[in-house]
Amino acid sequence: MTKEDCKKVVLDIISEIAPDEDLSDVQPDVRLRDQLDLDSMDFLDIVMELRKQFGIEVPEEEYQQLASLDSCADYLTPKFKEVRA
C-alpha cells in the first residue's frame, strides 16, 4: 500500500463516519480538525474503523499521529505493511 492509497483509506473512513462532510478538497498537510467538523469522538471512530477493517491498532497515546492526511500516511503505511506481512 502506497501513501496515496493510505490517504484514500482514511478519507473513505471519514466519509463513513461523517457522511455530511465535503471531502472533495481536503488539504493533506492541514490538520483534519481545522478543515472538517471532526471531534475527539470522530477520531476514536477512525481508530476503531482501522482496527475493524484492517486489524491495525492505534494506541491512545498515538492518536495525534492521525492529525492530518500526510501524518496519517506516514504513520499508517508501515502499519499496513506489517498487517499484510
Binding site for other proteins (CB under 8 A): 16-18, 20, 37, 39, 41-42, 44-45, 48, 51-52, 57, 60
Question: In the complex with other proteins, which residue's Cβ is closer, 41 or 85?
Answer: 41
Question: In the complex with other proteins, which residue's Cβ is closer, 5 or 48?
Answer: 48
CB of residue 82 vs other proteins: minimum separation in angstroms? 16
The answer to whether 65 and 46 are in contact (CB under 8 A) is no
Return d(Cα 5, Cα 11) in angstroms, integer. Answer: 10
Considering only CA atoms, which of 41, 34, 31, 38 is closest in space to residue 15? 38
